[in-house]
Structure 1
Amino acid sequence: MLNLERLRTLHAVSTTGSVRGAAEALHVTTSAVSQQLSRLEREVGQQLLERQGRGIQLTDVGGLLAEHAARLLQQVELIETDLADHRGAVAGSLSVAAFATAARGLLPPMLHTLRQRHPSLTVRLAELEPTEAIAELRHGAVDIAVVQDWPEEPLPVPEGISRVSLLEDVLDVALPVQHHFAGRDVVTLDELRDEDWVSWPDDEICHGWLENTLRRNGIEPRVKHTASEHSTQLAVVAAGSTVAIIPRLGRGRTPAGVRFVPLRPAPRRRVFALWRNSTTNRPAFQAALRALQDSARQCDTDTPA
């Protein structure tokens, strides 16, 4: 008889594309993943993986079994949801992934609300970039993914995943206090065409959005520095030679040496929650989504800091 956890491991390899990715998604070691796959191959009696360059790929049999595993795991999740719904209890565990500023600005109030309303529910938070969060959501390591995109650059949502909008977040330009625009009420991107920029690392979607936004406005980006953390970006801005665009959600206190000025037109990013269709009726999920929506309604991203 095929082992469910070994099928879950194969599914994780299929969705992440590697043993390392599966190990990270399942929160186990790579050797544990390899052992599960070896045992599954012995159970099936056929090779499931093969080397391709420096990586691996599923064999035809491995791909077929991974497809069956995906359907089986979805059915197991539906069974668990039906049982939880029958009990009517908001209990057990739930995993939520969110990008950094949402993890700071949205999730702490949500966690507080759930602790007050449903003390028997254990919630685990993971800070992940949207593409990583979606990958973990697809193979079941995450129950809710809080992600972001922009109207002009929508984020693809896989089949079998539902979404709901949480809020729209406004972004402002961060200037050194001695900048000649620092005293302005508003500034346009065109007025910033000769500036040097601090951006995010080029593998993060925010970096692509910034470069594309500047180019759509006829500006060739001059990115001099990159940093994931907004606190680091702002420290570089305060040094006096660069500017940055920073969202309001989860921004925190404005550091000395920096002045935020609204942009016109104001760039807006969309923040939304994703979940697997099979978890929609689970009481714990419904409670968490309500708490997340309550937290989003309390956020004021329309008022400049």
Structure 2
Amino acid sequence: MIDPRLQSLRVLREQGTVTAAAAALHVTPSTVSQQLRGLARDFEVELLEHVGRRVQLTPAANALLRHADLLAAQGELARAELAAHRAGIAGRLRLSAMPTALAAVVAPAAARLRDTHPRLSVSLIEDESTHCFELLLAGDCDIAVILPAPGSPSADDPRFEQRPLLAEPMDLLVPPGHRLAGRSDVQLIEAAAEPWITGRDWITHSLVVSAACAAAGFTPRIAGQAVHFVGVSAMVANGFGVSLIARLALIPPELAVVRVPLRGDTVPIRRHLVALRRGSAEHPVIAAGVAAIRAVCHERADITVLGE
């Protein structure tokens, strides 16, 4: 409902290059370049300046973007109000989430929506939280379940609305026969001398392990890194170290590992958020999607539902 050239400028700010912005928008780089030249010509200002082989936004572009974000939110409000005049829940809903939340919460909620509202088409995308924000901005998803991390949009970002969803404790993961495996709970400091398995540096799990161990008073000795919890679990099952695992994480039954609950003041908690394009929350389809996700969360006794 706003000039598509403004949307190209918004995505360029997020992606950093014309080529990446074009990929996110599913158009060619020449299309984005042509749109931005036309926008600059219409407003009679320079929007981009070249710095080596890259381009950066000018002060005029940043001023225009402040208005573009407001217009985008107003467009979402208009869509939501008009959709309320339609009969029933129908149309398309696209959901994205990081892997553990998608498997444990979002996929069951999507199936429930599909079965309850036969006129609603529901699709899912699994991705890391930072990419889920990019999908929202580009219009490739409508609801994202994310974990905030360094570099994520701030709570007052004018492009997104972020709502608390759930709090999920982390457990200590050890192999069978480990000295801590038979305990009903442990303090994290008791595993300080163990070799540790963590996520790769760009994976949120790496930050969670580092922060939790630091809060407990030690620096973990890293013995292995993985991209997904399946890889973490496989390394732990085969005796390469211990790790932290999210309560929602699904472990393949063939991997012999033991979850040990943590206790004390330094129990790490992952707090998930629902992220939406600002202005879209009252759209009937999106509201139904958020309600379904929250309903699935309420049915689980191992997490705490937030924001109510």
Q: What is residue 193 of structure 1 aligned with on the other side?
A: 192
**Other-structure match for 1:19:** 18
Q: How many residues align?
A: 298
Q: Deviations over 1:70-102 (max 9, x none)?
A: 222222222222211122442222332211101
| RMSD (Å), alpha carbons | 2.7
Equivalents in 2 of 1:278, 1:155: separation in Å?
16
Contact 1:137 1:143 in 2 (8 A): yes
Does the C-alpha gap of structure 1 residues 62 and 221 become closer, same or farther in structure 2, counting only changes over 3 Å? same
> What is the CA–CA distance in structure 2 between the aligned matches of 1:47 and 1:149, rounded to whole Å?
34
Superposed displacement of residue 244, structure 1 = 1.1
Structure 1 position 32, deviation (Å): 4.0
Residue identity matched to 1:182: A
Confirm or deny: 8 A CA contact 1:92 1:122 kept in the other structure. Answer: yes
The amino acid that maps onto 1:271 is H
TM-score (normalizing by structure 1) = 0.86
Q: 1:156 to 1:72 in 2, by over 3 A?
A: closer
The verdict on how the C-alpha distance between 1:256 and 1:289 changes in structure 2, with shifts beyond 3 A counting, is: closer
- Determine the structure 2 residue equivalent to 1:214: 213
Shift of residue 106 of structure 1?
0.9
Match of 1:120 in 2: 119
TM-score, reference length from structure 2? 0.85
Change in Cα spacing, 1:32 to 1:201, as seen in structure 2 (3 Å) is: farther
Query: Superposition pairs for residues 1-305 of structure 1, below 5 Å?
Result: 4-44=3-43, 46-138=45-137, 140-148=139-147, 156-160=154-158, 161-265=160-264, 266-301=267-302
Q: Give 3-state SS (helix, strand or coil) of 1:157's partner.
A: coil
8 A contact 2:107–2:124 mirrored in 1: no
Q: Quick one: which amino acid aligns to residue 146 of structure 1?
A: V
Deviation at 1:246, TM superposition (A): 0.6
- For 1:190 and 1:60, locate their aligned partners in 2 and report how far apart those are by CA, in whole Å: 50
Deviates more, 1:103-112 or 1:246-255: 246-255
Which stretch shows the higher mean deviation, 37-46 or 114-123? Answer: 37-46
For the Cα contact (< 8 Å) 2:195–2:241, is it kept in 1?
A: yes
d(CA) in 2 for partners of 1:78, 1:69: 14
Per mean C-alpha deviation after superposition, the further-off stretch among 88-97 and 7-16 is: 88-97
Q: 1:246 to 1:155 in 2, by over 3 A?
A: farther
Cα–Cα, structure 1 residues 30 and 223, in superposed 2: closer, same or farther, change >3 Å? Answer: farther
Distance 1:105 1:24, change over 3 A: farther
Q: Describe the shift of the 1:251–1:155 C-alpha distance in structure 2 as closer, same or farther (beyond 3 A).
A: farther
Q: Which amino acid aligns with 2:155?
A: V
In the alignment, the residues of structure 1 paired with residue 4 and residue 278 of structure 2 have an alpha-carbon distance, to the nearest angstrom, of: 21
Alpha-carbon shift at residue 240 of structure 1 (Å): 0.9
Query: 2 CA distance for matches of 1:285 and 1:210?
Result: 33
**Residues 166/62 of structure 1: CA separation in 2 closer, same or farther (3 Å cut):** closer
Distance across 2 between alignment mates of 1:145 and 1:37: 28
- Residues 50/273 of structure 1: CA separation in 2 closer, same or farther (3 Å cut): same
Tell me the CA shift for residue 230 of structure 1: 0.7
Contact kept? 1:149, 1:269, Cα under 8 Å: no
Rounded to whole Å, the distance in 1 between the matches of 2:184 and 2:65 is 56
Shift of the alpha carbon at 1:243?
1.0
